[in-house]
Structure 1
């Protein structure tokens, strides 16, 4: 594994970017109701990288979709920069596990897509696309179609496209879940370096505990049935400055703590 310096600014942010208070989500059918989220409260500071982990059925993806404005909450409140979320908005970008690229558009055209919809002038649009293609290492593939790219390259395009719209918050739902381990590790390191340069607030959903610890300043551990936050964990300052960090004693200790929290969530 390559040596990675600790890029994460742990200083307390002055601004709370996302605030959720007692958020509940109940899905109803003709015969029954299912509580996916039960009075979930959390905050994410500006420029912070925060992950949510938990077992299947704990409501991680439902929570992210509520932040994105793609689903409504049953009760509670959620705001971004003090404004209540009432639907999708340009202040949020989203990256899914599936690559969601337009197959008929080139790498450049995919990245420029949102800017084209906004009517951004051509020279400005090209400059933004050039910046993000360079940032994700795809400048040589500007004219390639998605079918000509590997899975990791497709996900780099998806990240670049989301960031090209200059969102206040980047929402990521298992973005590296479909990648092989080597590519996944490379994408994690790339994401941290992009995050350090762009200062975008990131909310990251994953079932991979190592990934959550490696990427995040804070980790919210969730339990299922119903989905609730069991514990907030602050990742220690400087942990990622260790070479071979995932094999280090502090990393393994923190991983075991989270596994224990998830494993006995039925108690």
Structure 2
């Protein structure tokens, strides 16, 4: 029997990297008011991989943008490492679904961009970019430009650029959504490998159930209109080994449960 719902346990505040309490977001125009989020509360522990899963329009990307400091909450509290989010910070790296590379810069220059802004010396920048070029497997493409790269390679550069700034938290907004199935699968495995090695706290936005189960330790399933957390799920079930599904029955039970949540 698989326990699907995360049991209510007391989490040591020292272990919590992200804490959101009572988050609401209302968009207002001259003619209408739309509530995107209502009373959202969640937490992410240090070095944890957590996905926020839900249908389009449920507000999951809005949560991420507020976490990144790109939007302001209407009400509620959003803290990272115990500090209220007031705006963008190098402590929070962001990877978008769209390819956000600077086309006039090489792969290496893209990875070093944030480091250069911070005044890091050329030698140290090269050492750091060398490290992350190796992490994402793009050493041979260090001097290539974005137009010469595939979609998956561009996302590798975006991940490397975020990690090069040594963020406490990596925020990922459906980063593999535009990739073909085979490339998406390889990128998912690469991300897991990077996470295990770098120990970075990751918040991952997706509408793909299989992806959330494969990548996450915990999943927050969202309801829409207005967006709210419907259920917190423990997905750390060791269903996969070396990227291959080995616990088919347990996987299907968990997937069926999430499908039922999303239907209702």
Partner residue, 1:75: 75
Partner residue, 2:155: 155
Task: Structure 2: give runs of 5+ residues left out of the alignment.
Answer: 1-10
Contact 1:242 1:248 in 2 (8 A): no
Partner residue, 1:44: 44
Q: Distance in 1 between matches of 2:12 and 2:18?
A: 15
Map 1:10-29 to 2 at 5 A. Answer: 14-29=14-29
Task: Structure 1: give runs of 5+ residues left out of the alignment.
Answer: 1-10
CA shift for structure 1 position 150: 0.5
After superposition, give the CA deviation of every residue in 1:24-48 in whole Å (9 maximum; x if it has no partner): 0000111221110000000000000
- The count of residues paired between Structure 1 and Structure 2 equals 254
Aligned to 1:129, the other structure's residue is in SS state: helix
Q: Distance in 2 between matches of 1:241 and 1:137?
A: 22
Partner residue, 2:60: 60
Map 1:1-267 to 2 at 5 A. Answer: 14-241=14-241, 244-245=244-245, 248-264=248-264
Q: Distance in 2 between matches of 1:116 and 1:242?
A: 37
Q: Distance in 1 between matches of 2:230 and 2:12?
A: 22
Q: What TM-score do you get using the length of structure 1 for normalisation?
A: 0.92
Contact 1:222 1:230 in 2 (8 A): yes
CA shift for structure 1 position 251: 1.1
Q: Distance in 1 between matches of 2:184 and 2:207?
A: 14
Q: Rate the CA distance shift 1:75–1:12 in 2: closer, same or farther, 3 A.
A: closer
Structure 1 vs Structure 2 CA RMSD: 1.6
Contact 1:210 1:246 in 2 (8 A): no
Q: What TM-score do you get using the length of structure 2 for normalisation?
A: 0.93
After superposition, give the CA deviation of every residue in 1:196-252 in whole Å (9 maximum; x if it has no partner): 111000000001010011000000000001100000000143222387318811112
